[in-house]
């Protein structure tokens, strides 16, 4: 059997009564971007901290390139870069000083340093801001610098906790481009996010809820496997429509999607059923169109199944 770069089996961690991580299995290969996707409190941060070896697991094990993160923590840590959710750089040091500081911390030799800085500047496009204090960077630029600092020792595995939370769409796309560039060089990436719409940017995803994976697969395979019937209803009486559909048990759930009401029904349901229910309840509507599933639909559906 070939060994995955990152391999974790049956990881568990309990805090008092809360089972924060309840049996996580995970393998990530070089060049692969794995998305750990779930809402607040799902167990993303705890999972990452277990993988990095910052937290002791109650059960299970994790290894990086065959090195157990608990038994050989120092050697394992040389191989990984970890960016926590609240990453603190030195606000009054400049961009370049921060990078040099992290290079020193990781004993990067002087000979290698210049070349790595140049490479990271090429990825991050931060060179024009090299002399700016980190505390004066915008949110997106700050995250790019933090990411660069985690990569200064050229790790083989990168673990990122919510790198795109709160950044603007332009910076978000730039961050993803940087991750793709690292992956193209063979770095394995595990990235956590609460945004379901980022699932499709990953090579493989695990939808996490209550410390467990609801599903892990390629994003395309997950969407293809979604079998509920989805519709988009345009109506002026939004609340009336929601109430009517919920009461008649016609819809499994409904929620806003742009200017439409998205309605999920049991597999095979016909749009006429919805039309009839709305009409019977005296709710006027303009149209009922088939809707396309996205990861939010999948997630909500799976949470119900698992409950």
Ligand X SMILES: Nc1ncnc2c1ncn2[C@@H]1O[C@H](COP(=O)(O)OP(=O)(O)O)[C@@H](O)[C@H]1O
Judged by the rule CB under 5 A, the positions of this chain that interact with Mg ion are: 44-45
Per-residue x/- track, 252-281, other proteins (CB under 8 A): ---xxxxx----------------------
User: Which stretches within the chain are classed as H helix?
Assistant: 44-52, 73-78, 95-105, 110-124, 139-150, 169-184, 219-224, 238-247, 271-280, 295-306
Token pair 């992290």: residue: 102
Among residues 66, 139, 186, 225, the one that binds other proteins under rule CB under 8 A? 139
Binding ligand X (rule: CB under 6 A), the pick from 24, 26, 34, 45 is: 45
Quick one: what does residue 86 bind among Mg ion, other proteins, ligand X, none, with the CB cut-off 5 to 8 Å set by partner type?
Answer: none
Q: Which of residues 9-38 bind ligand X (CB under 6 A)?
A: 15, 18, 20, 38
Task: Name, in order, each residue with C-beta under 8 angstroms of 199's C-beta and a sequence gap of 6 or more.
Answer: 35, 37, 205, 207, 219, 222, 295
C-alpha radius of gyration, the chain, whole number: 23
List 4, 11, 35, 46, residue binding ligand X (CB under 6 A): 46
* 43 binds other proteins per the rule CB under 8 A: no
Q: How many CB atoms lie within 10 A of CB 27?
A: 16
How many residues of this chain bind other proteins (CB under 8 A)? 35
63 Rama class: left (phi>0) / alpha (psi -120 to 50) / beta: beta
Residues 260/233, Cβ–Cβ less than 8 Å: yes
Of 44 and 77, the one with the shorter C-beta distance to ligand X is: 44
**Is the Cβ of residue 61 or residue 200 nearer to other proteins in the bound state?**
200
Q: Which of 10, 114, 138, 279 binds other proteins (CB under 8 A)?
A: 138
Q: For other proteins, which is the closer residue by CB, 103 or 160?
A: 160
Q: Which of 264, 237, 261 is nearest to 251 (CA)?
A: 264
Query: 10 Å Cβ neighbour count for 50?
Result: 26
Cβ-based nearer residue to ligand X, 193 or 277: 193
Q: Please, what is the minimum distance in Å from the beta carbon of residue 192 to other proteins? A: 13
Residue 171 is a binding residue for ligand X (CB under 6 A) = no
- Name 208's Cβ contacts closer than 8 Å, sequence gap at least 6: 24, 36, 37, 38, 42, 43, 44, 47, 214
Task: Name the site residues for other proteins (rule: CB under 8 A).
Answer: 33, 39-40, 138-140, 165-171, 173, 176-177, 180, 184, 194-197, 200-203, 218-220, 255-259, 292
Task: Name the site residues for ligand X (rule: CB under 6 A).
Answer: 15, 18, 20, 38, 40-46
């Amino acid at each position: 059997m070939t060994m995955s770069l990152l391999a974790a089996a049956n990881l568990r961690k309990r805090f008092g009564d809360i089972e924060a991580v309840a049996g996580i299995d995970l393998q990530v290969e070089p060049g692969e971007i794995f998305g750990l996707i779930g809402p607040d409190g799902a167990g993303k941060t705890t999972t990452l901290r277990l993988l990095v070896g910052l937290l002791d697991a109650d059960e299970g094990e994790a290894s990086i390139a065959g090195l157990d993160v608990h038994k050989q923590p120092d050697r394992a840590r040389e191989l990984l870069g970890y960016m926590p959710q609240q990453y603190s750089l030195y606000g009054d040091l400049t961009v370049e000083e921060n990078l040099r500081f992290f290079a020193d911390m990781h004993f990067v030799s002087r000979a290698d340093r210049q070349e790595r800085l140049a490479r990271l500047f090429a990825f991050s496009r931060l060179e024009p801001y090299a002399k700016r204090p980190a505390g004066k960077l915008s949110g997106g630029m700050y995250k790019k610098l933090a990411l660069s600092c985690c990569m200064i020792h050229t790790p083989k595995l990168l673990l990122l906790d919510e790198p795109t939370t709160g950044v603007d769409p332009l910076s978000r796309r730039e961050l993803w481009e940087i991750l793709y560039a690292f992956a193209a060089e063979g770095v394995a990436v595990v990235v956590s996010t609460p945004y379901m719409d980022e699932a499709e940017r990953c090579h493989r995803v695990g939808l996490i809820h209550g410390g467990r994976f609801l599903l892990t697969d390629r994003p395309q395979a997950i969407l293809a496997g979604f079998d509920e019937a989805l519709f988009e209803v345009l109506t002026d009486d939004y609340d009336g429509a929601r109430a009517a559909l919920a009461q008649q048990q016609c819809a499994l759930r409904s929620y806003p999607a742009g200017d439409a009401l998205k309605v999920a029904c049991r597999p095979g349901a016909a749009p006429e059923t919805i039309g009839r229910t709305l009409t019977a309840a005296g709710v006027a509507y303009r149209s009922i169109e088939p809707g396309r599933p996205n990861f939010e639909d999948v997630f909500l559906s799976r949470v119900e199944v698992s409950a």
